[in-house]
Amino acid sequence: MEIRTTGFGHPDAQQLAADVQQEYVRRYGDGDQTAIRADHFDPPAGLFVIGYQDGRPVACGGWRAKEQDEDGLRDTDAELKRMYVVPEARGRGYARAVLRHLEASALAAGRTRLVLETGTLQPEAIALYTSEGYAEIRKFGYYKDHEQSVCMGKELAAVPVPQPADVR
């Protein structure tokens, strides 16, 4: 899989974002209502990438800078958003590769912690994040008062720089 920085406004990013919204509808009955704009992912305050396999978009994810707030977020945090792998490409390590790429890019941009919000009906996401060193943190954001919301974070200071690899 080749990971390319595309921006959130790219047509492939918009298609994958629409697909992940449908995934949320299937699991939770509604799409993610969190406000997201393409410019949230513009460097240096963010990044959005797509993983391509044989020229086809199969995975995506991004981060956006966060500011200190009453929910415990810090000025040096980055929020992970729209992590997704198309169903037919799951189980190949693509999400892990995208996640590690995003961690390294956030750290390079001066971010010291990556935070995210997922849900109890996404056990595979929770398992991925836990296996990569994420732990539950105080809930934040649009869904902080929802019972199914799970917020996680990881300090990035010890994140190793990923080496180029061909993920299959």
Q: How many angstroms separate the Cα of 18 from the Cα of each of 8, 12, 24, 162?
A: 12, 10, 10, 29
pLDDT at 166: 53
**Contact assessment for residue 136 and residue 151, using Cβ atoms and an 8 Å cutoff:** yes
pLDDT tens string 91-121? 999 999 999 999 999 999 999 999 999 999 9
pTM of the model: 0.91
Q: Which domains does the chain have, with CATH numbers?
A: 2-155 (3.40.630.30)
pLDDT tens string 39-86? 999 999 999 999 999 999 999 999 999 999 988 999 999 999 999 999
Percent of the chain scoring above 70 in pLDDT: 93
Separation CA 118–CA 126 (nearest Å): 7
